[in-house]
Amino acid sequence: MKRKLNIKPKSNAFKSIGFTLIELLVVLAIVTSLMMLAVPRYFASIEHAKEVTLKQNISIIRETIDKYYGDTGKYPESLQQLVDKKYLKSLPIDPVTEQTDSWLISLPPPDADGKTNGKVYDVHSGAPGKTAAGVPYESL
């Protein structure tokens, strides 16, 4: 005996395929709430990374100036001279200003004869503003 299958399309078949507008709005509200928590921390971590990189770059330049002075007995005439004499591969970038030419240079103290021994004694950041701790970038 053969049975005949009676297949009727259900009227609710299309309702279960997608999401309702309410479900989408709830998901968007949850995602927005999570983004409101994450985004400020993200930008704060970027600023912290820039400060750490700046301190490291200043430390590297200062060590290189000291090594140059130890080798030659005088301070370099410019930061580019450290690159030319192969003490540095390239001049570090100030991560706050994103430039290599914004470094502030301090002159060396005069010798006993009253002459200056080079032109680059110390470096500081030329970036305006302050760190998250309230310290001016110029004094790092």
Over residues 84-110, the pLDDT tens digits come to 999 999 999 999 999 988 999 988 887
The pLDDT assigned to 79 comes to: 92
Nearest to 51 by CA among 121, 118, 133, 122: 133
Q: CA 14 to CA 5: how far, in whole Å?
A: 22
Cα Rg for the chain, rounded, in angstroms? 31
Type of residue at 19: F
User: How far is residue 107's CA from residue 102's CA, in Å, rounded to a whole number?
Assistant: 16
Q: Are 38 and 32 in contact (CB under 8 A)?
A: no
Q: What is the pLDDT of residue 16?
A: 61
Percent residues over pLDDT 90 in the chain: 49
- Across the chain, mean pLDDT equals 86
Domain extent listing, the chain: 21-139
Top pLDDT among 132 and 62 is at 62
User: What confidence score (pLDDT) does residue 116 get?
Assistant: 72
Per-residue pLDDT at 13: 53
